[in-house]
Structure 1
Amino acid sequence: MEKSCLECGEKLLGRADKKYCNDHCRNAYNNKRNKESNQLIRTVNNRLRKNYRILQDLNPEGKTTASRKKMADRGFDFSFITHTYTTKKGSTYYFVYDLGYLPLDNDYFMLVKRTA
């Protein structure tokens, strides 16, 4: 039974379970196969990275306040977070990895850095 490369169709020699003729074809095949599903993940990760950089820039000391306008002007997207944390008092912090914010009055936020 003669097998051929899944990417380029070239005849395969060697192991019986071989699927690709070389690393280039293997990478090309898997990149094509994963392209559509990876696009959503790539978009979400880019938004999370941008939000993280903004929180990092606005909060170099570990705890401060910032206005919604200041965060939004820098491009912060409030719909992209990694998790939430609710305190015993009922306050909900929104986090992007270890950097978070707590909504305050008058469209202000307390920015915090969570320590381990």
Structure 2
Amino acid sequence: MAKTCLECNEKIIGRSDKKFCSDYCRNAYNNTINKDSKNLIRNINNRLRKNWRILETLNPEQKTKTTRTKLIQHGFDFNFFTSTYTTKAGTIYYFVYDQGYLPLEDEYYALVKRES
């Protein structure tokens, strides 16, 4: 019985355990299968990257203060962050990779950079 490619249904020549006739068909098949999950991950990573760039732009000195309005004007989305850090006093810092922010009073935010 001749095996056929899972992507293009062409006859496969070669090893008995081959599933695809070429690298192109293998890549096309796997890209089709993983498309939905990759779109979700890509969109989240894009959002995180944008948030990181905003924090980096507004925090050139490694520690500064800004307003919620300024963050929102730049397109910052408070729903996307990579981790949190809780101090012994119970203060919660939100981090996007190494750039972080701390909500303060009157819609102000302290921006910090985590040391490596």
Extract unaligned runs of 5+ from structure 1. Answer: none
Q: Map of 1:1-116 to 2, 5 A cutoff?
A: 1-116=1-116
Which amino acid in structure 2 is aligned with residue 11 of structure 1?
K
What TM-score results when the alignment is normalised by the length of structure 1?
0.97
Which string of whole-angstrom CA distances, capped at 9 and with x for unpartnered residues, describes residues 61-107 of structure 1?
11001100000000000000001000011110000011100001110
Which amino acid in structure 2 is aligned with residue 109 of structure 1?
Y
Q: What's the offset of the Cα at 1:39?
A: 1.2
Extract unaligned runs of 5+ from structure 2. Answer: none
What TM-score results when the alignment is normalised by the length of structure 2?
0.97
Total equivalences in the alignment: 116
Aligned residues: CA RMSD: 0.7
CA distance in 1, matches of 2:53, 2:94: 15
CA distance in 2, matches of 1:47, 1:38: 14
- In the TM superposition, structure 1's runs of 4+ consecutive aligned residues that sit over 6 Å from their partners are none
CA distance in 2, matches of 1:5, 1:87: 57
CA distance in 1, matches of 2:45, 2:66: 23
- For the residue of structure 1 that corresponds to 2:106, the secondary structure is coil
Q: What's the offset of the Cα at 1:47?
A: 0.4
